[in-house]
Structure formats: structure tokens, C-alpha cells
Amino acid sequence: MTVDIGRDPVTNKRKQKELSGFKTKREAEKAAAALITEVEEGTFVQEKNVTFGDFVKTWLETYKKSGVKMSTIRVREHESGRLTKYFENMKMKDITHKMYQDAINDLKTNGRLSHNTISGVHSTGKMIFSKAVELKVIKADPTQFAKLPRKLTTVEELEQEEEVVKYLEKGELALLLKTAQEQGFQQDYPIFLILAYSGMRAGELCALRWSDLDMDEHTISITKTYYNPSNRAQEFYLLTPKTKRSKRKIDVEPIVIEALKQHRTWQKELMMKYRKTYYKGDFVFTRTDPLNVGYPIYIRTIENHMRRLLKLAGLNESLTPHSLRHTHTSLLAEASVGLQEIMERLGHKDDNTTRNVYLHVTKEKKKEASQKFGELMRSI
């Protein structure tokens, strides 16, 4: 059965759509009537034959020009690539809701991806198909109403779960810093001191320049973060902070300023030694190998050095530089600093982990206050 769907706006020739594959004449007539209604109401979409793989390539090129950060683009490329494995050569219009849901489920069962990873893939999928609907490549969005698979936790598993506190206690932090000062590599002590005393992210520390420091006012301005997807020292990028609130100025203790001054003295000697090749980027913490001297230090280097120090100190080796951010939170909470002030210092509006660490510490302090009050009353 053939249905007239209007005229081509360029050639003014009549356009027709062939309907086929129906078991009965009545089914064909119902489909034709529905199509005519769509044409008359202006809701008809002439779906195109573009494949998923080709559409994603076009979408990514447009997405790159939308002003998003390079790191975000890289994430979208990676996530769309996971969907491309399922749909690359399929026409966009042929991808059904069930096909999409099956792909999402397969990422969990066979891909063994985490819930957060699958959630990211799904977010990218929604962006792709939403754009396809907007451009009238497809009529319906197969991602609509798709559900993310979740692992069902039994009561027994929930009861057996142990809370893993990903931060150092005050005495443990002191031991880590002492180990860094006495057994660490050249830049270890000021690196881990500043991470612990400021709560900044490792990427923010790698991007830190001397011009960001005010030695007189004892402040550090955090305005950028380090990004190096290729892991080549000279191919790094300085990006805007993670969020708008990540741009901030924080006060630090005199001990941090003093350590930075001593570090600066050592760095000047390094600059003189390699004065012909030293990369003059004004970075506070840099690589020291002759070929890349002066370029920002790798985040991975900081992680490796921390693992070494934790082992030397006999501390939990699973902790990371980000754990020092949580350590900073716990110590501020112990010092009775409010959650809002801590959030502002860390540079984010809200964060469940930070909130949980804060509540954990303050809960213990409340218990301690109650115990002290009880002891006081018993002494009367």
C-alpha cells in the first residue's frame, strides 16, 4: 500500500511511502490511516537510513564544538564506543527499545561493568538518541524508559558489610608526613603536606603555579586542574576546575608556607642545573628527569609515591592521594568546623562521601560529649 506524504520542499515533487509486511488488509488500512493522520497533524517523521556508527561520528564532532571540556569529550567517546560495539552497523531507525535495554543489561552481565560506568554509558546513549530525534533521523527514542540493571543485595550481605573508612586518623597522618620527610623522595614531603593541609585534589596540585601562591597572606588560589590523557609529560592540558565551586582561595598554615619556601629553594637549584632545558611553566611541583625537567608532575607519580610511603610507615596501602582529601575533612570536623565551611574549602556544593565522613566524625564527638557529661554528673 502506498501513502502520499506531501511534497519535497526542494523539488516540489510528491513524496510517497510504501507500507508493507502486514498479514491482513485491515492491518494495512489501519497503518495507512495512522500515517495519514501524522502527515495531516505535522508529526510525521521520514526516518533516515543512517547507521548508528556513522551518526555517532557526526554527533561527536558536533559535541566537540559545544564548548565542553576535553576530558568530558574523551569520556563521551569512550562511552559511545561501548554502545557502538552493539549497534555500529545497524540503522538508527531499526534499534528498538528492547535491543537497547538488552545492550545495557549485557554490559552488566557479560561486560561486568560497575553501576556508575553503565550509568555513564546510558547517559551518553540518551544524548545520542535524543539528538537523533531532534534531527528527525528517528521517530522514537529507544532509550526512553530504559532501566539500569542493579545487583540485588540480600539482608545477610547487607548485615555483613563493613564500613571502610578511607581516611587517616590524626596520628596516622602525622606518621605519613614524618615518613615522607625522612624517607620520601625530594618533593614528597611538601606534596603530601599540602594535600593533607589544604584538601585539594591531586589534579589541582599538579596544575599549581607559583603565581597561585600568596606567601605573605598564606593563601592558595585554585583555578585549574591538570589533564594528561596520553601520559606524555609535554602533552598536558590545564583545564577549568571540576565545577564552578572548585575555583576557590584557601588559607593554609605557616608550616605549609615554610615547606613551600624550602621547596622553592631546591627548585631554583634544579633550574640552574638545567637552565638551558628547564621548562619555564612556573609549576610548583615538576618532573626532574632531564628530558622533561620543569613539566608538571604526573598524578600517577604522586599515587605511586604515596603507596611507597604508606608501606614504609606500615599504614593502609589501599589509600590514595584522594584519601588525604577525606582525611582533611575528618580533621576539620574533629576541630568543630561546620560542614558548609568544609564544603567551601574543598570546592564543591555537595558530596556524599564528604558528608558521610563528616557525620561519622561528628557522631563520635557527640558520643564523647555525652560521656563527658555523664562522668561530670557521676562526680557530683
pLDDT digits (tens, 9 = 90+) for 282-303: 999 999 999 999 999 999 999 9
DSSP state of 51: B
Cell of 35: 500515517
The confidence score (pLDDT) of residue 304 equals 96
Reduced 3-state DSSP string for 88-157: CCCEHHHCCHHHHHHHHHHHHHCCCCCHHHHHHHHHHHHHHHHHHHHCCCCCCCCCCCCCCCCCCCCHHH
The confidence score (pLDDT) of residue 23 equals 64
pLDDT band for position 369 (cuts 50, 70, 90): low
Q: Is residue 220 over pLDDT 50?
A: yes
pLDDT mean over 232-241:
90
Closest residue by Cα to residue 296 from 179, 180, 212: 212
pLDDT digits (tens, 9 = 90+) for 25-42: 676 666 556 545 644 444
Q: Where are the domains of the chain?
A: 2-35, 52-155, 170-368
Q: Is residue 44 over pLDDT 50?
A: no
CATH superfamily of 170-368: Intergrase catalytic core (1.10.443.10)
The confidence score (pLDDT) of residue 198 equals 93
The confidence score (pLDDT) of residue 344 equals 87
* Neighbouring C-beta atoms of residue 135, cutoff 10 Å: 16
CATH superfamily of 52-155: Tyrosine recombinase, N-terminal domain (1.10.150.130)
Q: Is residue 65 over pLDDT 50?
A: yes
Give yes or no for a contact between 95 and 139, defined as CB atoms under 8 angstroms apart: no
Percent of the chain predicted with pLDDT > 90: 57
Burial of 288 (0-12, 13-18, 19+ CB in 10 A): middle
Which residues does residue 287 pair with via DSSP β-bridges, in sequence order? Answer: none
The confidence score (pLDDT) of residue 135 equals 86
